[in-house]
Chains A and B, each alone.
Chain A
Amino acid sequence: MKHTNGGDSRLLEIDGLKVHFRTDDGWVRAVDGVDIGIGRGETVCVVGESGCGKTVTAMTVMKLIAMPPGKIVAGQIRWQGRDLVPLDAEGMRAIRAKEIGIVFQEPMTSLNPVYTVGEQIAESLRLHEGLSKRAAIERAVEMLKLVHIPNPQRRVHDYPHQFSGGMRQRVMIAMALACGPKLLIADEPTTALDVTIQAQILDLLNEMKDRLGMAVMLITHAMGVVAETAQRVVVMYAGKVVEEAPVIELFGNPRHPYTQGLIRSIPRLDLAAVKKERLEAIPGTVPSLLNPPPGCRFAARCRYAMAQCTEAEPPLREVAPGHKVACVL
């Protein structure tokens, strides 16, 4: 594989990954051949609507998919050159938090209600660094200070129910970063939060990235979030990557009709207020991943669809340096 961005020191390379889930009706192809590469210190956004396989991809990197019913059918997940797919549970535990940290979507339920936030931040430090309880709590205070929680010395002994949603997400970020991972996976970290808090959390993520020099894989369905944070963007549709480009290139010159649709469906307050125009939406829904249609999976919803679109699947091809698209156009 040739990479035009991030040099040769790729941190994470997802290569031809296929993750299928067995259901009563057959195998659901949630992730069906995905290639994503993330370089050191790079922020990559993975966008797409609900059910397109973004979260499954991220969870598979951490091997947090329940197997069965899930199954990694094909592909490699190379972490610093080493394939994680055949790695056993023991080996995977050493990677989690220490090498790759993850922040989940739902901060309200991602913290254990029976422990103080300090104890929860301390847990990974004690697991991976073998710190004593006292030392781990001291580090937890530092981590809370790092994510800008006021009065960290006192708050470290508070329970999750004493924190607001935004504050809990900060705690979750502190937990994920406590062991100094090289990659942070943030799975829709702002979706469950108020709009005003969303910006704060994104700013925090950017700040943490600059300070700690880690790479970030940000999963989102909000194009606004992408524009604000990403260096490179991967657009996913129905379990496949349909377009990949540096962020400026993607917004300036979107090639795939799906990407164009996503960008057009960003609400624009200025236009909405003046013209009272209806927000543009992509018609139709994501096809069933049980028996995906032959050819391009977006063809049924695509305004430019041609006969050849439903015959053969268009491969991902490079149309400009670092800009790949899976479309015949």
Chain B
Amino acid sequence: MPRKRVSPWGEAWRRFRKHRLAVASAVVLSVIILAVLLGPLVWRVPIDEIDFSVRLEGPSWAHPLGTDDLGQDLLARMLYGGRISLAVGFAAMLVAVLLGTLVGSVAGIASGRVDAFLMWLTDLFLSLPELPLLLLVIYLFRDTLRSLVGAELGVFILIVSVIGGFRWMPVARLVRAQFFSLREKEFVEAARALGASTPRLVVRHILPNALGPVIVAATIDIAAAIIAESTLSFLGLGFPPDIPTWGRLLFDAKDNLDFAPHWALFPGLAIFLTVLTINFVGDGLRDALDPRRVV
């Protein structure tokens, strides 16, 4: 009798495959990620080669995505900028998920006063107006960090921590809610009856069961962080001009929209496609990992 071992993750993968849009999105997203990772190795045009003879030209064989006002190749800049945009997205998501999981777990297992305080903190952060504060924080700390770890890394750390620092609250609430229901489950009681300590209960028994919704939230968070980075860059508060993230490219392109629409079109399309596919993948993951929805 041939029989396969069906792990919960295997089961989730089986359900994910049924979601066609999510699978297609995962493929497109993988292509985008591979392109920004490997693209610069194949398309070896430098991102900062200035050539005024080809200013603001549309797509051609020499420059598949056209050029900007300094005659720099946009494909090269897009591929390089994609790395930064995606890296910011993933890193900010990690910050948000780790912080949110930590706060949510502590609140969920401690309950009582600790929980009340942490939830008060969460509500406080939720009620803060995000954009003005982002601007303020970046304005205050940009120069300090720049002198400390260099311009590029400094801005990266600042933007990642600022975006992540404003996105952990939904994760914390989610994790706390999961903890409240999971800690009453019989298997947690059973593990306690086997002599497991509280940290062990949390790490081995409660957290893995709370992970599904967190993964879904994390996926959506990547998309939100990419958008947030674009917004900051578009407002001129993100990366410096020599680091062409997708948002920065849009910012630079906006003054030339009339005669070089391609300049704004391609970065915009890249952001749109990335965020859209990530959201579809998140949707598929929700179907696959959320036990309340049966396919």
Listed in ascending order, the chain A residues whose CB lies under 8 Å from chain B are 62, 64, 89, 93-98, 101-102, 104, 106, 109-114, 116, 123-124, 127-128, 154, 157-159, 161-162, 172, 175-176
Contacts and interface: CB of A to CB of B under 8 A. Distances in A.
B8 A113 contact: yes
A172 to B, nearest CB: 7
A97 B209 contact: no
A96 B186 contact: no
Contacts of A109: 185-187
A96 B193 contact: yes
Contact of A127 (B6, B185, B194, B209): B194
Nearest to B211: A114
Task: Summarize B's interface: helix, strand, loop or mixed.
Answer: helix
Contacts of B185: 109
18 contacts: A89-B197, A93-B195, A93-B196, A93-B197, A96-B192, A104-B186, A104-B193, A109-B187, A110-B190, A111-B190, A112-B187, A112-B205, A124-B195, A128-B195, A158-B5, A159-B7, A162-B6, A172-B190
Q: Please provide the 9 A-B residue pairs with the shortest distance between their CB atoms, ordered closest to farther.
A: A96-B195, A124-B194, A110-B186, A93-B195, A97-B194, A112-B187, A109-B186, A114-B208, A102-B193
A305 to B, nearest CB: 39
Nearest to B8: A114
Contacts of B196: 93, 123, 127
B187 A97 contact: no
A106 B190 CA distance: 10
Contacts of A154: 3
Contacts of A62: 193
A112 B209 CA distance: 8
Contacts of B190: 102, 104, 110-111, 172, 175
B94 to A, nearest CB: 22
Contact of A114 (B6, B186, B209): B209
B195 A98 contact: yes
A97 B204 CA distance: 18
Contacts of B6: 159, 161-162
Nearest to B205: A112
A176 B194 CA distance: 7
A209 B183 CA distance: 31
B276 interface: no
Contacts of A176: 193
